[in-house]
Amino acid sequence: MTMLSRLVLALAVAAASPVMGPTSAAFAQQPVLVAGIGPAAIEQMNVRVVSVDPPNHSLVVEQRGYRWQILLPEIFGDLRSLKPGDRLQINKVDGALVALFRSKKGSKPKIVYEDAATDSTFQNLPARYVVQKVAITGRFSSFDPATNTVSFVGPDGPRSRPVGDPVVIAEIKKLKRGDRIDAVFVQAYQILRK
């Protein structure tokens, strides 16, 4: 059984349990604590698989008219069991930005999950979440210096992320609205087949 199959099966069993399922009161009352941000809610995205490229560990998914590529590390195992039209639920919690810079010329919007991060960014994280660095290629929108929040449009839609590193803030201040950027942060997530 592949790692993805084991992960999906384990999560399906947990979701069916009245104690462990994502709709249980205990789950809803336990916010995830994110370093540099504080309490954060788990965001749920329901997406449809558009295409699968198993040799390259790549999926193209779609939600609300947005379509984007997801590059998964090998830890997710063989993706051949996924087919176009399959439905996935992505549960995620984002950490603060650790880097933001102009993309290379010709970069296309995408989301890349890099090898597992081993840090203490998240506390009270539910079981069976994977913590990894995420790099999103998108377009810069704005920076609010009062709240140290950067806004950008990724391939999956508009996003806002806090940033605390003065070096990253200095780089952000050089950007113009519409610049193609790469935003890097740590994210805890799980992907479930529906």
Q: Mind listing the pLDDT tens digit for each residue in 85-106?
A: 999 999 999 888 989 999 999 8
* Least confident stretch, 56-60, 110-114, 170-174: 110-114
Give the Cα-Cα-Cα angle 146, 158, 64 (nearest 5 degrees). 155
Domain residue spans of the chain? 3-193
Q: Mind listing the pLDDT tens digit for each residue in 155-189?
A: 989 999 999 899 999 999 999 999 999 999 988 88
pLDDT at residue 143 tops 80:
yes
104: which strand partners?
none
